[in-house]
Amino acid sequence: MEKIILWLLPLPPLLAFFVILVLTNKNRALSHGLAIGAAGLSWLGTMIIFVRALGIPQFGKNVIESGFNWLPTGSTWLQIGVLLDPTSAVTLFFVAWTILMIFVYSIGYHNYGQPAGEHDQKGLPPGGAMVTDEHGHAHKVPSVEPMYSRFFAFICLFAFGMYTLVVSNNLLTLFVGWEIMGLCSYLLIGFWYAKPAARDAAVKAFMTTRVGDVFMLLGIAFLYSATGTLSFREIFRPVVLHVLATTVTPFFGLSAAGLIGLLIFIGTVGKSAQFPLHVWLPDAMEGPTPVSAMIHAATMVSAGVYLVVRMFPLITADFNGQTLTPTMSAIAFIGTFTALFAATIAVAQNDIKKVLAYSTISQLGFMIAAVGVGAYVAAVFHLVTHAFFKALLFLGSGSVIHGMQHGALHSGDEADPQDMFNMGGLRRKMPLTFWTFLIGGFALSGFPILTAGFWSKDEILAEAFGNGHWVIFAALATAAFLTAFYTMRQITLTFFGPPRSQAAEHASETPWTMTVPLIVLAVFAVGFGWLGIPEQFPILGGILPNWFHAFVGGTLQTPPTEPLFNFIPLLTSLGVSLIGLFCGWWVYRGVRSPQTDFLQIPLLKNKYYIDEIYNRLLVKPAMWISEQFTYLFLDRTIIDGLLHSVARLALFLGGAFRNYVDKPVINGLIGDGTATVVKVSGFNLRKIQAGRIQYYMIVSITVLVIIAALLYFLHFLLA
């Protein structure tokens, strides 16, 4: 029963994708009904299976798994199958919730029920429609998205990819889901394909993640050649892990396990936008906001972390519990560096979605760092809570942008609806959005006790501290401080103070399809953290059992122990979040324009010029090579030259045949010759056609007599 549900989980969105694409493309209500119905079915299946899994004692040992041989590869088979263990169960839980909420939200975001805009065209965001009310006043109101059904088809395909990735029990189908999501990410970032920025961002995202995927595929291939299987539970058998950990490879003295882990981790670096492959994620904000929420905050980028979490036993195969292995050090370094690095960029961004994008990169860095220091449970915990509150924040920002666009259309204000320095005072205009955004922001900042973000981030800090990684601890604490600071900066600029533009002045609350998902996600952003309160936490510890740690920790062969309780990380995480929040409010409470914002440092504003460096170092040379070498030299000179020579030879042969064969022999001799003979003989023979009947008769009779005489003589001579 559970196995069947698990097999069927990814299918409804896939079916919905095809049906919308082929049949219901013209009908908006049917399309979103199908999409949400499919997401709802998958959600229902997830909930059923999740509840059942909770009832299984020792679930980490008694997982739900089913598989079969799929592709023969000589002597062995590639197996595919599904697997539900505690880690994939909690992942499935947040994936199902966020996907369903974001699907519902998309209805409102794409202005379902509004009239079609007069000047709207496919490939551009809707620009508003004029309507006349009953009093005869003309208003400009938001118009419905021109490619409404297409959007739902794409997100359905995406949901299929994500579900496939989470339920698969092997790297092969995981990689398939991974790539399907990559494709959907490309399609949805470039959803408004008539915008050059969106097009470029889509290509950039696809190319950048491709870099990671190539290494990941190398890692998978290496793993397959080393072990002969890609199924997780086969690979994670102690015997196999021991062999992998003790095999030495020629690369940097890494063990096979370390090298495979590193290669697969590079895939994560691409997908989860870690330094140095983080550049695509901020640009990906060109896509519609539900896409940013779903793909670029809650699910797809989380898939990268999910992958390293999945491969955790392999990555830590040669970890003795004391000093980090080179692979783990690399992972911890990348994660920590990204967390701090992206946080510093986020404080100087003015686009509401860009701030969240860098915040996502930074938070993913936290998770990666947690995996790097061996804090398995903390990474998964932050993965789940982050998915909830970051989806909430993105949807909230979408709601803000939507309200701003509404105000802009109403007042005719041309201000950029995404620039926070055009906002302000939205607290009163959009109360529901404000309160949910505040909850999400506090969760992101790690507001103590109440919010989920506090518990998960605290656990990462505690693990880093408890295992003695001081530098990582300090860097992450700084990043957490910056997180609280830029979050409060964002909230202050957006919601507090007087409005900074006409658009903000006339902004209005968004429809219920958008606010209900916000409320649902806000509940999780607060409540989910209470499932993972450490046992030894003062006062609160022990009231609720640390269910999350026990449940998820059971996935590993040897369940990890909670780090020893220490006041230093606790006070640090309390301090950085409260001080950060206060500073954010205090500094920005009176800032009216970017000129008076002291953090608009060019270096931060321009994201450390990484895009420019990549452009100079990679894009330009690649363009130069493709232009000069591939196009001009290879293509034009060699290939075209070869083709032209062949063509010239053919032309020469053709000319020779024409001049020496066709014209004299065929035309002259056969064609014209026949005609000439016929003509001359006709001219000469016509004289016998005298027209006199008696002349004809004489000729006839003469010929008759001759023939008779001939026959007569022949007859007798031959006889």
Q: Which residues contribute to the site for other proteins (CB under 8 A)?
A: 686-687, 689-694, 697-698, 701
Q: Give the DSSP letter string of 189-209.
A: HTSSTTSHHHHHHHHHHHHHH
CA separation for the pair 94, 174 (Å, rounded): 18
DSSP state of 122: T
Contact 492, 438 (CB under 8 A): no
C-beta closer to other proteins: residue 26 or 692: 692
Q: Kind and range of the H or E element at 655?
A: helix 640-657
C-beta closer to other proteins: residue 633 or 696: 696
Phi first, then psi, for residue 281 (nearest 5°) are: -65, -45
CA separation for the pair 476, 573 (Å, rounded): 10
C-beta closer to other proteins: residue 558 or 684: 684
Smallest gap from residue 673 Cβ to other proteins (A): 24
Q: Kind and range of the H or E element at 520?
A: helix 512-527
Smallest gap from residue 690 Cβ to other proteins (A): 5
Contact 365, 337 (CB under 8 A): yes
Among residues 360, 430, 387, the alpha carbon closest in space to that of 525 is found at 387
Q: What is the CA radius of gyration of the chain?
A: 37
Smallest gap from residue 697 Cβ to other proteins (A): 6
Half-sphere exposure of residue 518: CA atoms within 13 angstroms, side-chain side? 29
Task: Say how far residue 177 (Cα) sits from the centre of its chain.
Answer: 11
Burial environment of residue 233 by CB neighbours within 10 A (0 to 12, 13 to 18, 19 or more): middle
CA separation for the pair 7, 505 (Å, rounded): 51
Smallest gap from residue 660 Cβ to other proteins (A): 41
Amino acid making up residue 247 = T
C-beta closer to other proteins: residue 135 or 692: 692
C-beta closer to other proteins: residue 1 or 693: 693
Smallest gap from residue 694 Cβ to other proteins (A): 6
Q: Which two tokens stand for residue 545?
A: 């059992």
CA separation for the pair 393, 387 (Å, rounded): 10
Q: Which two tokens stand for residue 72?
A: 């023969």
Smallest gap from residue 701 Cβ to other proteins (A): 7
C-beta closer to other proteins: residue 322 or 689: 689
C-beta closer to other proteins: residue 543 or 693: 693
Smallest gap from residue 691 Cβ to other proteins (A): 3
C-beta closer to other proteins: residue 686 or 715: 686
Smallest gap from residue 675 Cβ to other proteins (A): 20
C-beta closer to other proteins: residue 131 or 701: 701
Among residues 82, 111, 257, the alpha carbon closest in space to that of 176 is found at 82
Q: Which two tokens stand for residue 361?
A: 């990169």
C-beta closer to other proteins: residue 58 or 694: 694
Phi first, then psi, for residue 193 (nearest 5°) are: -70, -10
C-beta closer to other proteins: residue 74 or 682: 682
C-beta closer to other proteins: residue 632 or 698: 698
CA separation for the pair 451, 522 (Å, rounded): 10
Smallest gap from residue 712 Cβ to other proteins (A): 16
CA separation for the pair 588, 584 (Å, rounded): 6
C-beta closer to other proteins: residue 615 or 702: 702
C-beta closer to other proteins: residue 568 or 706: 706
CA separation for the pair 272, 306 (Å, rounded): 10
CA separation for the pair 311, 215 (Å, rounded): 15
Smallest gap from residue 693 Cβ to other proteins (A): 5
Q: Kind and range of the H or E element at 211?
A: helix 196-227
Smallest gap from residue 692 Cβ to other proteins (A): 5
Q: For residue 83, what are the β-bridge partners?
A: 65
Q: Give the DSSP letter string of 599-627.
A: T--HHHHTGGGHHHHHIIIIIHHHHHIII
C-beta closer to other proteins: residue 617 or 697: 697
Smallest gap from residue 714 Cβ to other proteins (A): 23
Q: Which two tokens stand for residue 644?
A: 């032209």
Smallest gap from residue 671 Cβ to other proteins (A): 26
Smallest gap from residue 665 Cβ to other proteins (A): 34
Smallest gap from residue 707 Cβ to other proteins (A): 17
Q: Which two tokens stand for residue 657?
A: 């045949």
Measured CA distances, 181 to 161, 176, 189, 620 (Å): 5, 9, 12, 28
- The SS3 of residue 575 is helix
Phi first, then psi, for residue 244 (nearest 5°) are: -60, -40
CA separation for the pair 314, 679 (Å, rounded): 96
C-beta closer to other proteins: residue 471 or 697: 697
C-beta closer to other proteins: residue 647 or 706: 706
CA separation for the pair 174, 164 (Å, rounded): 7
Q: Which two tokens stand for residue 630?
A: 């591939």
Smallest gap from residue 679 Cβ to other proteins (A): 14
Among residues 495, 420, 489, 554, the alpha carbon closest in space to that of 57 is found at 554
- The SS3 of residue 433 is helix
Smallest gap from residue 647 Cβ to other proteins (A): 55
